[in-house]
Chains A and B, each alone.
Chain A
Amino acid sequence: MSLKRRDFLKLSTVAACLGATSTAHGMEDFTGWPDRYGMLTDTTLCIGANCRRCEEACKRVNERPMEGLDLTDNSVFEQTRRTDPNSYTVVNRFTVSEDSENPVYVKKQCMHCNEPACASACLVRAFSKTKEGPVLYNKDVCIGCRYCMLACPFRIPSYDYFDAFTPQVRKCTMCYDRIVEGKIPGCAEICPKEAITFGKRSDLITLARERIRHDPDRYQPRIYGETEVGGTSWLYLAGTDFTNLGFSDDLGSMPYPELTRGFLAAVPIVLTVWPVLLTGFYKFSQSREKAEVEAEAAAADDKKGWGDGYRHE
């Protein structure tokens, strides 16, 4: 191999630069599909007690078992519930100090992040952000590692622990199948107060801002989900501080995949460049060693020849 040391270094630098710029371009400039859909939940409108029709509709659309769902049973509000494999959405009650007589009800489900942490954490790309907005799960490739559940900042994905043979990770699909048919998601359709609105995410942000502007006493001047973890498709309006309603205030506005992007972008470079680099070093040092050994041998030969001759003489 006739690769000179200088040439090798030149080549490897160029390769490294190319790799770095191409990954940076691919990720930074895309701000999401422009017409993607979203949902706006107005917690000041939610009826909550005696209603929970969204939970019912969700189960019906997703063909989840209806057993144990009693809409008139308000004791479910006594504890803050989480989504589970049979309930892709749950309504929780929060009592706020400003108005303790009128509790606030908050519907909880997958937020359908613009840049989902679950998709980033998944080893096999079982999660994908569709151009319509929903984040979808593909059960056919899932290996059941449940990294998605750990990665989710909202603790939404749930696992079929009680299904021994075909367990799945389950979460809200934003009724993707209905959306592509031109229908609106089940919960938005059934809500008697239309506290849940389905529309283009950009329109929903405008709508939410209008509501805040028209009634500043009623609303906090904040749309939860507009910027949280890089923005989510599901947006919330509230009349009290979001931290009173079980929303985390410390998620930041940086998309979670950003946290691992630097590392993950380096992996292909390491995988492609390092073997070449190290092989090169190896070859280089080996050839040098060989040359040294040869030189040494030649020197030894010379010495020997001279000695012999000397001895012969």
Chain B
Amino acid sequence: MKKTFIIWPLILLLLTSLGGLSHAFRAQESSQQDASKPPCSDCHVCASPTKADPCLEICVWTKAKAGKAHTPDEGPDVAMLDQLEELYGPVTFDHKHHAEMVGMGEGCAICHHYSPPGKFPPCEECHGDEPSEPQTLRKPGLKGAYHRQCMGCHREWSHDTKCIECHLPSNGVDLASSPLDSTDILGIEHPVITPPVMRVWTTPYRPGPIVTLHHQEHIDLFGLRCVDCHKQENCSYCHDLDKEARVNKTDEEIHAICNDCHLSDACDKCHDTGEKPAFTHAGNGNWELNRFHQGLSCRACHPTGRKIGKLSARCSDCHGGWNQENFRHAVTGLQLDEIHVELDCSDCHIDLRYGRIPRCNSCHDDCRNHEDAPPGEYIRMLSSR
């Protein structure tokens, strides 16, 4: 009898400790599984949050944090906001154009605030049908949330609060039959966003008052996105029905934009007595591109960083992976014959200087003219490069 008194608690102790152990294992497993997710400390400010006290940061996702690594294409082109029809019909929300534009301001988080890590849920996932109550003061209802987000900017833009700027009239179009089209909002075609080709300013800088910006060139050739230069501009900086685009930046602000890339350039890089010509690789880069390189974007050869610097003229510095086995010599215009195709590249191209056409007499003492006895068949005439 006495023995059982001792044994039972021991068994119980053993069982509970086993349970605890397995629980610990499971916890370890689950923490390993969650390794792909962002770290807990991104949202929870204390070391051991509980369900009762999650100690969440008030504004978890700062604007910059939430705005990165998302593209406008991830969201819908057009969203139909038709959950709350009352006086007015639904709103066709041109999500795509808005998403493309917010990059110039504060990013997606300008609307998708307090989003959980890694995703941007639609408004109705958090905002319910009812307006905020004493228990939920900080979370307006869906209607309030929509109006707060949209009208903040739209009122600055139009200086008006006309409902039909966004809302379809309640007797409006048959939505089921009309496909959602991001170019057609409220029956108005959205204007195409056309960046200017070139802009010329006259400045008070005496040695070179004229500044030319080949705007299109910066987009097409240099591969810059709008946001690379147009940073932190609020919507009404451009969108104001009463005004032309406001140009009220200070000299420092304007120079700061260009200096992102042109910091080490002298003043005369931009300032001149007349309009600067457009960029050519031969003129600005002192190296005329051959037919193979002409079609490439700048970034294909100048990938590192923002600054486009001088590259090595040695072909092998970029095309180091080519050898006599994997390089099709025919693309140069010369199909090598059976004898020459077996040779190593450096046998003919001394010092790997591919820019020059090799001379026959470095191997062949009889030194016949290259054209008379080519090392293969010419498909096209060779250029000097």
Contact = CB atoms under 8 A, between A and B. Distances in A.
B143 interface: yes
Nearest to A211: B138
Nearest to B240: A101
A189 B148 contact: no
B155 A204 contact: no
Nearest to B86: A192
A204 B134 CA distance: 9
A49 B132 contact: no
Interface string A182-204: 00100011011110011110011
A69 interface: no
Nearest to A102: B159
B161 A51 contact: yes
Interface string B129-141: 0011110011011
A102 B155 contact: yes
A192 B147 contact: yes
Given A101-B242, A102-B156, A193-B144, A50 B163 contact: yes
A45 B137 contact: no
A183 to B, nearest CB: 9
Contact of A49 (B59, B138, B141, B160): B160
Interface residues of A, number: 25
B81 interface: no
A191 B144 contact: yes
Nearest to B162: A50
A188 B242 contact: no
A112 B156 CA distance: 33
Contacts of A48: 161
Contacts of B147: 47, 192-194
A197 B161 contact: no
Interface string A170-191: 0000000000000010001101
B229 to A, nearest CB: 24
B227 interface: no
Contacts of B151: 47, 193
B193 to A, nearest CB: 25
A207 interface: yes
Contact-residue size bin, chain B (C-beta under 8 Å from the other chain): 20 to 34
Contacts of A203: 134, 137
A203 B136 CA distance: 10
Given A192-B143, A193-B144, A101 B137 contact: no
A192 B132 CA distance: 12
B144 A37 contact: no
A101 B161 contact: no
Nearest to A188: B131
Interface in A127-151: none
Contacts of B162: 50
A203 B135 CA distance: 9
A189 B131 contact: yes
Nearest to A45: B148
B134 A199 contact: yes
A149 to B, nearest CB: 31
Main secondary structure of the interface of B (DSSP, over half): loop
A194 B148 contact: yes
A33 B144 CA distance: 30
B160 A197 contact: no
Contacts of B133: 184, 198-199
B232 to A, nearest CB: 14
Interface in B228-274: 242
Given A192-B144, A193-B144, A194-B148, A199 B161 contact: no
Contact of B140 (A50, A184, A194): A194
Contacts of B148: 45, 193-194
Contact of A207 (B138, B141, B159, B242): B138
B155 A200 contact: no
Contacts of B141: 194
A60 to B, nearest CB: 14
A197 B132 contact: yes
Given A45-B148, A194-B140, A101 B134 contact: no
Contacts of B59: 214
B67 to A, nearest CB: 17
Given A200-B134, A203-B134, A47 B161 contact: yes
Most chain B CB within 10 A, of A47, A51, A192, is at A192
Interface in A45-82: 45, 47-51
B134 A198 contact: yes
Contacts of B144: 191-194
A194 B132 contact: yes
B170 to A, nearest CB: 14
Contacts of B58: 210
B287 to A, nearest CB: 50
Contacts of A194: 131-132, 140-141, 143-144, 147-148
Interface string A236-268: 000000000000000000000000000000000
Contacts of B161: 47-51
A313 to B, nearest CB: 106
A199 B137 contact: yes
Contacts of A188: 131
A189 B144 CA distance: 10
Interface string B157-187: 0011111000000000000000000000000
A213 B58 CA distance: 12
A188 B132 CA distance: 9
Contacts of A198: 132-134
Interface string A16-49: 0000000000000000000001000000010111
B238 to A, nearest CB: 16
5 contacts: A45-B148, A191-B131, A194-B140, A197-B132, A207-B138
Given A192-B147, A199-B137, A203-B137, 19 more contacts: A47-B147, A47-B151, A50-B163, A51-B161, A102-B155, A184-B131, A184-B133, A184-B134, A188-B131, A192-B144, A193-B144, A193-B148, A194-B131, A194-B143, A194-B144, A197-B132, A198-B133, A199-B134, A210-B58
Interface of B: 58-59, 131-134, 137-138, 140-141, 143-144, 147-148, 151, 155-156, 159-163, 242
6 nearest A-B residue pairs (beta carbon)? A194-B144, A199-B134, A194-B140, A193-B147, A192-B147, A199-B137
